[in-house]
Each structure stands twice: as structure tokens, then as C-alpha cells.
Amino acid sequence: MDDWVTILLVVIALLVIAGIIYWATRGKERRLEQRRETAAEHRQEAQVAAQRAGQAEVDARRAEEAAEQERERAVSLQGKAEKVDPDR
């Protein structure tokens, strides 16, 4: 085999190997970027969920306060009813 043919085959083999490495690296970078995007979406969803949870806590506290006021009103009215009831 002539020397130039051997050199040509070695160069072609090196180019093929370099191409394989390039495509493999590029694919890995693409997968990493997709994972970063997915993580960012999850973080955003978590932030929205945390905001909703915070709002739900505020609403629950308000409802609890309203219920307590209603209980106090009921006790007060019950006391008035006891005082006014002629059968007691």
C-alpha cells in the first residue's frame, strides 16, 4: 500500500473519530440544557405553589378569626337568652 493511501486512511479515521466525539459532546450539552430548563420550570412551579400555600394560610387564619368571632357572638347571645328566659 502506498504511503499516501495510509496517510489518507489515518486522516479519515481521525476525522471520523473527531466527528463522533463532537456529536457525542453536543448531545450531552443538549441534554444538560434540557435538564436546566426542566429544573427552572420546576422551580417556577414550586414558587407558585408556595405562594398559593401562603395565600391559603392567610385565608385560613381569616376564616379562623371569623369563626372565633361567631363563637363569641353565639356565647354572648346564649348568655342573653339565659338571662331573658322566664323558665330559667
Model pLDDT for residues 2-16, shown as the tens digit of each residue: 888 899 999 999 999
Copy the grid coordinates of residue 45.
Answer: 412551579
Give the mean model confidence (pLDDT) for residues 10-24.
92
At position 56, the amino acid (one-letter code) is A
pLDDT tens per residue, range 57-70: 999 999 999 999 99
> What residue spans define the domains of the chain?
31-83
Element (H, E) at 16: helix 3-84
CA distance 51 to 45: 10
Sequence-ordered list of residues with C-beta below 8 angstroms from that of 82, at least 6 positions apart, any chain: 88
Please name which of 77, 80, 54 lies closest in space to residue 88, comparing C-alpha atoms: 80
**∠ CA 69-75-81, rounded to 5°:** 135
pLDDT (0 to 100) of residue 28: 83
